Structure 1
C-alpha cells in the first residue's frame, strides 16, 4: 500500500508544480501590468465575477490605486503558502511597498476555461501587528 501511495504522489507532483507556477505567473503578470499602468492588461487577469463588479479596466485600476497601492507599486513580491479552504484556492503573498512596509495579502484563485484568474484579494494583518 505504501509503495502505491508513493507512486501516486510522485505521479501527481508535476501537475501540482505546473498549477503552482501558473498561479504565481498570473499574480505576477497582473502586478507587472499594474506597474506599467496597463489596467486593461491587469483587468484581463481578474475573474469574470470581478470584471462584472467593476465593469471595465478604468474603474478597476482606480480601485487598485486607492485601495491596494502596495500592489500597484510594489518594491518586492514574495509568494508564500497556498491553501485550499472550503474548495477555494488561496495564495498568500507578501508585498513590500516603496516605503519598505510589508503587507500580507491572500489571493483567491479560480480556474476559468482552464486558466487561473484572480477572484478576490484580501489585505491581512501582519503577524505580530497589534489589533
Structure 2
C-alpha cells in the first residue's frame, strides 16, 4: 500500500461556529452532509456511503472549534490516517472558515480535494450558506 500524503484545505463558510460545530461533531449533523448515514457508539463512528462502510474513532474534539477522527483498518485496528475539521474565526473580520486536514494517495490528491469541495458544498447547502 502506498503511503498517503497529508493535505489541508480551507473553505470560507457563512455560519456561526456554534451551529457549524453541531454539523461536524454529531452523527445526525454529519449524516446531513458528510455521509449517507452516520452511527456512533461512544467514540466509535460508522460512516456509510451507498454500499460502503468506514469506521473511525473520535480521537479529539474541542467544543465549537474542531473534531478529529482516526480511521480503523479492515481488521478494526487504528491506522495512522485521520481527518480533522477545524472551525476558524478571523479575529478582526469575524469571518468563519472550515479547515480540513486529511490524507490521500499522491495520485488521488486532486480527486480527494474535489470530494471535500463537494462535501463542503453540501454542508453550505444544508446551512443555507450558499
State the TM-score, normalizing by the size of structure 2: 0.31
Of structures 1 and 2, the one with the larger relative CO (CA 8 A, separation 6+) is: 2
Counting strand residues as a fraction of each chain, which structure ranks higher? 2
Q: Which has the larger radius of gyration?
A: 1
Counting helix residues as a fraction of each chain, which structure ranks higher? 1
State the TM-score, normalizing by the size of structure 1: 0.31
